[in-house]
Amino acid sequence: MLSFSYRENFFISKLSGNLNGLKSNQIQRLKKISEKRIREDVIISQEISRTLCELSLEIGKQIGILIDRSGYVTHVLVGSDTSIEIPFLDRLRTSEARLRGLRLVHTHLKGEALNQEDLTDLALLRLDYITAVTMDSSGNPNAYFSAHFNPESEDELWTVLPKQYPGQLTEGIYDEILEIESQLSRFRKNLKDAQKENRAFLVGVYPERNIGRHPSLSMEELKELCRTAEVHVVDTFIQKKNRLDPSTVLGKGKLEEIILKAIQKHVELLVFDLELTPSQAKKISDIADIKVIDRTQLILDIFARNAKSRDGKLQVELAQLKYLKGRLTELDDNMSRLTGGIGGRGPGETKLEIGKRRVEERITRLEVELKSLKKRREINRRQRKKNELPVVGIVGYTNAGKSTLLNALTNSEVLSENKLFATLDPTTRRIRFPEEREIIISDTVGFIHDLPPELSNAFKATLEELGDSDLLVHVVDVSNPDYKLQMEAVEKILEELDLSHIPMIQVFNKIDNLEKFKALALQEGYSSEFKKTSKNSLNHGPGLEAIADLKEDLGIDSHADTVLVSAYQGWGLKTLLDLLEERIYEKAFLASSTEL
């Protein structure tokens, strides 16, 4: 049997809300309500309904109870005269095909039916049922207004039932709730396999006077990140707003509107195209009751998927822990516990403090290990310098075709996919020129706009190898409408890494995707069907005249170190190799002349 003090704490934890001004006997009567059990197949019993109405009329405040499917009262809530606030509820649902397993019954003091706030709570919290009980002047129930989730229509999230009077409350709501869940489950089964899991609603909030890239382009990049992370994008929302709401980014009203739309489309994930603060992420998640992630988390997830080498995995883990460190939050005082042993007496440490300390310890260990790996890379670099082999570093925006270019130039089979950050680990290959000349060519991780600081710092060690390069090859996806801004982003990162002094060749890749290029190719007699050529056909493609016209059309300086190629088709690579050899050995010749 429970001890008295434990029972007191237990019932107090079930009672929440606006308790100011309540008398001790009123609080005791509220506690007694929490001890009640209601039949599972009726909304509420007449006895408890009358008790709620009498007490609500007496204190002049709305009273509500949350009831689970077994009929037990899990929470007793006290609100104001016009509304009631539902506390944070543990996420009891195991999937989007499940309702929460709780129904809310609460009083309305002014005889009104269910309002918009009630219906919004029903949808946001995915309650089984919501019922408002009105009363007469004596505190007797005189009407019941109910609604439940509507799984069959995307137009209306809820079904409002006809008003019922005392004595008309029907049985069978338990079976009705199970049928609603069955319909939700059938909806998901009818979706295609690719659309069942990780259904996402994308949210972008951008400054009204956006000097950088257009919001639609930023949203398209977020969609590509989602595709890479195997997230199915169901819908998007874009808003221009100079001042973000400090707690919810958008404002509570607009956020609830988006969440309701997301619930209509059976979405289980909200993805924001910005980095949320810890407090914003928690507030939005509490309102939404669905998973909320930001752009940084999405990129971290992609990096974690694609890192293959030990170095890459450690760097990703370090970035994840640094991101997590500031987001460890404590939901309530129940997480506190004492630690044993000498020095552990007194208030002890909370789980939050223990978690933070362990994260910091792991970060320290990872940094030590990464320093060790960095020394190993320095030894390898010294060995290459000893052999006096020129080094060429490939840089560029993610998914610009760097790995495809490396494969085409070196006849390799490095993983290359039409996804963002498909390859993270640096890859090094050799290219042999005539006259027994060789160079080392190295592929690196792709860059991206607003690379999260955690990742930027973590991968600086890897990108340090670019500092030993004799020449950089900047690969640009010229078919991307945002390619000029992508070039600026790459150049900015190179400046931050103090690499802007290294000579550079700009390689404009994926020209076969340009409509202008196809038209010029047809003028020179090439087929409109561009088939992949053999790896040895490096000089295949339209002639110099077409390339010159294309450079002029794109506004590219034809006298600078620029090359137009299609790494996938093999076009323009002969020109690129000739330019590489010329620039590398021209530099070597000048260096030797200086020494003489």
DSSP string for residues in 314-350: HHHHHHHHHHHHTT-----GGGB----STT--TT--B
Q: Which amino acid is at 75?
A: H
> What CA–CA distances, in Å, run from 547 to 114, 337, 519, 533, 535?
68, 71, 12, 19, 21
Tokens encoding 81: 């005269």
What distance separates the 2 farthest-apart alpha carbons in the chain?
Answer: 109
Per-residue pLDDT band at 529 (split at 50, 70, 90) = very low
Task: State which H helix or E strand residue 76 sits in.
Answer: strand 73-78
pLDDT value of residue 345: 42
- Beta-bridge partners for 78: 17, 63
Can you count the helices (H) and strands (E) in the chain?
19, 17
β-sheet bridge partners, residue 440: 391, 430
Mean pLDDT for 109-119 is: 92
Residue-level pLDDT at 44: 92
Count of other CB atoms within 10 angstroms of residue 209: 7
Q: What is the mean pLDDT of residues 63-84?
A: 92
Show the beta-strand stretches assigned E in 449-570: 471-477, 504-509, 562-564
Q: Mean pLDDT: which of 50-59, 260-269, 437-446, 511-520 is highest?
A: 50-59
Q: What is the pLDDT of residue 386?
A: 63
What residues contact residue 531 under an 8 Å CB cut-off, 6+ apart? none
Per-residue pLDDT at 323 = 82
Between CA 464 and CA 380 the distance in angstroms is 13
- Cα–Cα dist 527/529, whole Å: 5
Per-residue pLDDT at 337 exceeds 50 = no
Quick one: average pLDDT of 70-90? 88
Residue 550 has pLDDT above 80, yes or no: no
For domain 388-593, the CATH architecture is 3-Layer(aba) Sandwich (3.40)
Interstrand relation of 471-477 and 199-206 (parallel, antiparallel or unpaired): unpaired
Fill in the amino acid letter for 591: A
Of the candidates 99, 108, 107, the one whose C-alpha atom is nearest the C-alpha of residue 68 is 99
Alpha-carbon distance of 596 to 584, in angstroms, equals 19
> What is the rounded distance in angstroms from the CA atom of residue 190 to the CA atom of residue 121?
27
Q: Rounded to whole angstroms, how far apart are CA atoms 369 and 316?
A: 13
Ramachandran angles phi, psi of 230, nearest 5°: 60, 45
pLDDT above 70 (res 96): no
The pLDDT, as a whole number, for residue 589 is 42
How large a percentage of the chain has pLDDT more than 70? 74
Residue 10 pLDDT greater than 50, yes or no: no
Q: Parallel, antiparallel, or unpaired for β 141-149 and 158-160?
A: antiparallel
Residue 177, SS3 per DSSP: helix
Rounded CA gap, 420 and 457, in Å?
19
Dihedral over Cα of 57, 58, 64, 69: its sign: negative
Tens of pLDDT, residue by residue over 135-164, are: 998 999 999 999 998 877 666 788 999 999
Interval 340-375: pLDDT, tens:
443 334 444 555 566 777 888 888 888 888 778 777
pLDDT in tens, 440-482: 888 877 788 877 666 666 666 557 667 778 899 999 999 888 8
H/E run at residue 54: helix 46-59
Helix (H, G, I), strand (E, B) or coil at 78: strand
Tell me which residue of 305, 300, 263, 314 sits closest to 462, measured CA to CA. 314
Query: Is residue 331's pLDDT more than 70?
Result: no
What number of residues does the chain have?
596
Give alpha helix (H) positions in 69-172.
116-124
pLDDT band with cut points at 50, 70 and 90 for residue 419:
low
Nearest to 130 by CA among 163, 102, 165: 102
Cα-based distances in Å from 418 to 234, 398, 402, 480: 21, 10, 11, 13
Amino acid, res. 520? L
Task: Provide mean pLDDT across the span 123-128.
Answer: 88
CB-based contact 556:487 (threshold 8 Å):
no
The two three-digit tokens of residue 541, written as one number? 């493609």
Say what the pLDDT of residue 204 is: 92
Nearest to 122 by CA among 235, 18, 256: 256
Pairwise CA distance, residues 99 & 149, whole Å: 9
Q: What is the residue-averaged pLDDT of the chain? A: 78
Residue 410 has pLDDT above 70, yes or no: yes
Q: Say how far apart CA 187 and CA 183 lie, in whole Å.
A: 6
Burial of 167 (0-12, 13-18, 19+ CB in 10 A): exposed
Q: How far is CA 347 from the centre of its chain?
A: 37
CATH fold of the domain at 196-304? Rossmann fold (3.40.50)
Q: What does the alpha-carbon distance between residue 461 and residue 311 come to, in Å, rounded to a whole number?
A: 10
**Residue 402: both structure tokens together:** 């760097």
* pLDDT value of residue 501: 87
* Listed range (124-128, 217-221, 424-428, 524-528) with the worst mean pLDDT: 524-528
Name, in order, each residue with C-beta under 8 angstroms of 542's C-beta and a sequence gap of 6 or more.
517, 520, 521, 524, 526, 571
